């Protein structure tokens, strides 16, 4: 199988698995226990916390371990909003956020009366920092803009947005789940007060994430029941997964420059090949300021899911930007926010490369994809002959 869906999840790096294994067997203690086995587990958790903090240029006490990126996003938005309800009820976000942010904001508006501003993006998916500044009111309590988009790979101008937030004294959160393995995570350079990560996007295990919270940022816990994570996130610490999170993040950051260079070359070959050989194809997202592993497209007169099924028959795993909800097809909210018509947005394909992919993998896709698309388009009565 040629796996080209690394934006969805990644295989666990063997070095990460090796670091995790002892904490399922001989080092299985509860990190909250005071005897030797528990203290050993506690040391592993705090070493992992220090590793993550060093990479983010943060303090260890600013790192909270969670169950995933979604929980981290939920904690950031709900935690800040609930802790700041005496100051205001206005949250600024973008129209292309992951549902972990978008659906949470929608619920905050629907169930708790918060006011949400969804900023537009340009045709590449870029948020204008000037729009952020213009949306701020005296009731604004949080700004949440993703670091890099999970569908089209566009990288947002976080530092500029962070400067706007800092001038107005408003907490700034970023969903960095897609960016964690390939972009700079220095929270001071980025100007963020909260940052979400997930291990399984960077060759770590599923089921563990991180939320960075800058000291002094208001945050009300959303998971209660124990004193773990300095009372901010209750629940017995998942020691092996926390060790895996830190190990995966460290390896990703250490190898980032080399990996990005190699993947960007494969990405550019893939993009150029698809645009040159596939009829009625268009690139989505920013042409250059995008994640090194992301190649995303839309094809006219075709459904993305049909492409996926045909690719799967050829041993190629990929994903589509289209989604189906309760049997009714709905175009990607990201693609429509970019101004892509709904009919065209249905014909989306995302190919996300990983560190094990090769030039042969790319060439295999370029060999089979044009025929697949042409065959499917030929079935559409709308496709010009």
Instruction: Write out the catalytic residue numbers.
Output: 324
The set of long-range contacts for 338-344, using a CB threshold of 8 Å and a minimum separation of 24, is 338/96, 338/121, 338/122, 338/123, 338/124, 338/125, 338/152, 338/284, 338/285, 339/123, 340/284, 340/298, 344/282, 344/298, 344/300
Measure Cα distances from 86 to 141, 191, 215, 218, 307 in Å: 10, 24, 20, 11, 50
Strands (E), 207-293: 209-213, 281-283
CA 306 – CA 373 distance, rounded (Å): 9
Residue 204's nearest CA partner among 158, 252, 236, 161 is 252
By the 8 A CB rule, do 177 and 248 touch? no
By the 8 A CB rule, do 147 and 69 touch? no
By the 8 A CB rule, do 56 and 185 touch? yes
CA 184 – CA 174 distance, rounded (Å): 13
Phi and psi at residue 243, to the nearest 5°? -60, -40
CA 35 – CA 68 distance, rounded (Å): 29
DSSP character string of 150-199: TTT-BBP-HHHHHHHHHHHT--EEEE-TTTTTTS---HHHHT-SEEEEEG
Residue 243's nearest CA partner among 25, 10, 6 is 25
Looking at the DSSP assignment, which residues form a beta bridge with residue 282?
A: 298
């Amino acid at each position: 199988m040629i796996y080209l869906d690394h934006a969805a999840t990644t295989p666990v790096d063997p070095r990460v698995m090796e670091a995790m294994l002892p904490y399922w067997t001989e080092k299985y203690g509860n990190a909250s226990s005071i005897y030797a086995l528990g203290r050993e587990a506690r040391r592993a958790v705090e070493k992992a916390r220090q590793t993550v903090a060093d990479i983010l240029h943060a303090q260890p006490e600013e790192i909270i371990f969670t169950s995933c990126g979604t929980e981290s996003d939920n904690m950031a938005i709900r935690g800040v909003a609930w802790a700041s309800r005496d100051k205001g009820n206005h949250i600024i976000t973008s129209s292309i956020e992951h549902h972990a942010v978008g659906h949470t904001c929608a619920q905050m508006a629907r169930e708790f009366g918060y006011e949400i501003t969804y900023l537009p993006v340009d045709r590449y998916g870029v948020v204008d920092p000037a729009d952020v500044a213009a949306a701020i009111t005296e009731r604004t309590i949080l700004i949440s803009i993703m670091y890099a988009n999970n569908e089209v790979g566009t990288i947002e101008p976080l530092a500029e947005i962070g400067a706007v937030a800092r001038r107005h004294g408003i907490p700034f959160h970023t969903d960095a789940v897609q960016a964690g393995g390939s972009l700079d995570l220095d929270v001071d350079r980025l100007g963020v007060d909260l940052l979400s990560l997930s291990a399984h996007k960077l060759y770590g295990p599923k089921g563990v994430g991180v939320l960075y919270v800058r000291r002094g940022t208001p945050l009300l816990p959303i998971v209660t029941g124990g004193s773990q994570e300095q009372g901010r996130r209750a629940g017995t610490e998942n020691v092996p997964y926390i060790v895996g999170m830190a190990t995966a993040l460290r390896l990703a950051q250490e190898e980032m420059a080399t990996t990005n260079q190699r993947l960007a070359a494969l990405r550019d070959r893939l993009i150029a090949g698809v645009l040159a050989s596939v009829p009625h194809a268009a690139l989505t997202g920013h042409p250059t300021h995008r994640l090194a592993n992301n190649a995303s497209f839309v094809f006219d007169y075709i459904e993305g899911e049909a492409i996926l099924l045909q690719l799967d028959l050829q041993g190629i795993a990929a994903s589509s930007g289209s989604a189906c909800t309760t049997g009714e097809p709905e175009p990607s909210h990201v693609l429509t926010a970019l101004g892509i018509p709904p009919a065209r947005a249905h014909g989306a394909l995302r190919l996300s490369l990983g560190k094990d992919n090769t030039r042969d993998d790319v060439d295999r896709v370029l060999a089979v994809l044009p025929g697949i698309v042409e065959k499917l388009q030929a079935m559409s009565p709308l496709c010009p002959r």
